[in-house]
Amino acid sequence: MSLELPAPVLCLASASPRRRDLLWQIGVPHKAVAADLDERALPGESPHDYVERLALEKAMSVRNRRERLPVLAADTAVVLEGTIYGKPVDRADALAMLGRLSGRVHQVITAVALATERSLEVRLSAASVRLRELTLAEREAYWQTGEPPGKAGGYAIQGFGAVFVESLSGSYTAVVGLPLAETAELLRAAGLAYWQGRGA
């Protein structure tokens, strides 16, 4: 006997299983549609403006495909001394990126946007993360897990990369990729309930 999931009340503009898990965690029935955009920062764009712009563009990109449900989108950037560290392009990039973050505090900034028929709203969340000193052997071994590709900053706090995190100040879910306090605020304002669907 299969359980029937509740009808979706939201469209998540993301292919990220982590963001889907977080939405299920707060009981929001949803479907997912990837937003395929150029994620390069614009010249002179600040990290806050960068994630905010991309979250809004992702939400509107899916909304403009005649999506009838409200569309939720998010974007996350890892920032060290004003430099944005996106997803590593290859092994060498990932090892170098983790080497720069090693033993230092960096910021993780996530924007979440909600596009409905009536409005387009966005919220920002920031956290500070300190990674312990990472040896080259550890970085090499971590690359072999297959986790760094597709992760801003080249690591996943909710995965194998958790062993690198010495301390965290701010929202854990923002570092994972979807700040739940800000997401709930947007949902409430749009009249969308959470805690209603069965968890994953």
Q: Over the chain (200 residues), what is each successive 10-residue block's mean pLDDT?
A: 74 94 95 91 95 97 95 97 94 97 98 96 97 98 96 95 98 96 97 73
Could you tell me the sign of the dihedral formed by the alpha carbons of 148, 150, 152, 158, in that order?
Answer: negative
Catalytic residue among 21, 38, 75, 90: 75
38 is catalytic: no
The confidence score (pLDDT) of residue 63 equals 95
Q: According to the model, what pLDDT value does residue 1 have?
A: 42
* Residues 121-141: b if buried by 16+ CB within 10 A, e if exposed: bbbebbbebebeebeeeebee
Give domain limits for the chain: 10-189
In the three-class reduction of DSSP (H, G, I as helix; E, B as strand; rest coil), residue 167 is classed as strand
The confidence score (pLDDT) of residue 197 equals 55
> Does domain 10-189 bear CATH number 3.40.50.300?
no
